[in-house]
Amino acid sequence: MAVQTIQTKNLSMRYLRFGNPEGQPFVILPGVAVRSVMLSEDAIRAQYGALAEMYDLYVLDRRTDMPELYPVMAMAEDTCQALDALHLQGAVVYGVSQGGMIALAMAVQRPDLVGKLVLCSTAAHTTPALLHIMQEWDSLAAVETVPALMRSFAENVYTPAYCEMYRDAFQAFGSTVTAEDLHRFRIMLRGLAGFDVRERLQQIQCPVLVMAGAQDKLFGTEAAQTIAASTQAALAVFPDGAHGVYDEDPDVLGRIIAFLG
């Protein structure tokens, strides 16, 4: 099924749905992206194909009309509204990076929507390392220095081997980035400032899986350990994984499947 749009009185949000319509809802919340993940439909279907037989998969974008000030907590409220519009409750909610922050906020705000929580390369608060990298990206995006932005994004998110393997692909992708894409990207970056739900983590009662790459330049493993300790979560650390371990290591999906049983 192609990309669709949720339209309510207060919200417009694009989403991709595929898999088994009779299966349990499985909601995927991506992280900050230079361009909307809705432009990568084929890659998403391939990446999560192993879940398609059993689960009704939804990949949700951010709202289409993002305000200039759009904090993570507001992103979570909008995502909850989207799930209400789709009549989804008790879903498996899988969030990576900023999407994981959104998922944490949803589990605190609307536990009826989240039956199981899966998190990868994320944190319950904005870390100094994250802020430093995000400020660098914001500065590059502000002056539309796309080649340098793509290099910095790749080098901070992925392993050196992955960056080298896909160097040409990153450069080609950068050539498609528009001024509108960069504006949207900067809003998402600025939305990270001030996020902190550490004091509310113990409110989360559903089963939780937390995954992290030990080489994550944005969070390391401490952020994942904090979430796991407060939620009694299962914790999986990938020794050679970078922040983008969710894209690089197929065992991430294997851990999710094993967790869901």
The whole-number pLDDT of residue 58 equals 98
Quick one: pLDDT at residue 2?
Answer: 81
Q: Decide: helix, strand or coil at residue 55.
A: strand
Q: Say if CB 249 and CB 241 are below 8 A apart.
A: yes
- Report d(CA 207, CA 195) in Å as an integer: 23
Task: Quote the number of domains for the chain.
Answer: 1
The model's pTM is 0.96
Residue owning tokens 């793509």: 150
Taking the C-alpha atoms of residue 63 and residue 33, their distance in angstroms, rounded to an integer, is 13
- Which residues, listed in sequence order, are joined to residue 237 by a DSSP beta bridge? 212
Distances (CA, A) of 260 to 121, 170, 198, 234, 253: 19, 33, 25, 11, 11
Q: For helices 98-109 and 72-85, what crossing angle results, to 10°?
A: 70
> What pLDDT is recorded for position 1?
60
SS3 204: coil
Domain enclosing residue 157, as ranges = 4-260
* Distance from C-alpha of 99 to C-alpha of 107, rounded to nearest angstrom: 12
Q: Could you give the CA distance from residue 80 to residue 24 in angstroms, rounded to a whole number?
A: 17
Tens-digit pLDDT profile for the chain (261 aa)? 689 999 999 999 999 999 999 999 999 999 999 999 999 999 999 999 999 999 999 999 999 999 999 999 999 999 999 999 999 999 999 999 999 999 999 999 999 999 999 999 999 999 899 999 999 999 999 999 999 999 999 999 999 999 999 999 999 999 999 999 999 999 999 999 999 999 999 999 999 999 999 999 999 999 999 999 999 999 999 999 999 999 999 999 999 999 998
Give me the pLDDT at residue 207, please: 98
CA distance 20 to 3: 16
Name the token pair of 192.
């990270």
What are the backbone dihedrals phi and psi of residue 86, each rounded to the nearest 5 degrees, phi first?
-85, 0
Radius of gyration of the chain (CA): 17
Q: What's 199's domain CATH number?
A: 3.40.50.1820
Region for 23 from its dihedrals, namely left if φ exceeds 0, alpha if ψ lies in -120 to 50, beta otherwise: beta
C-alpha distances in angstroms, 173 versus 165, 178, 196?
Answer: 14, 11, 32
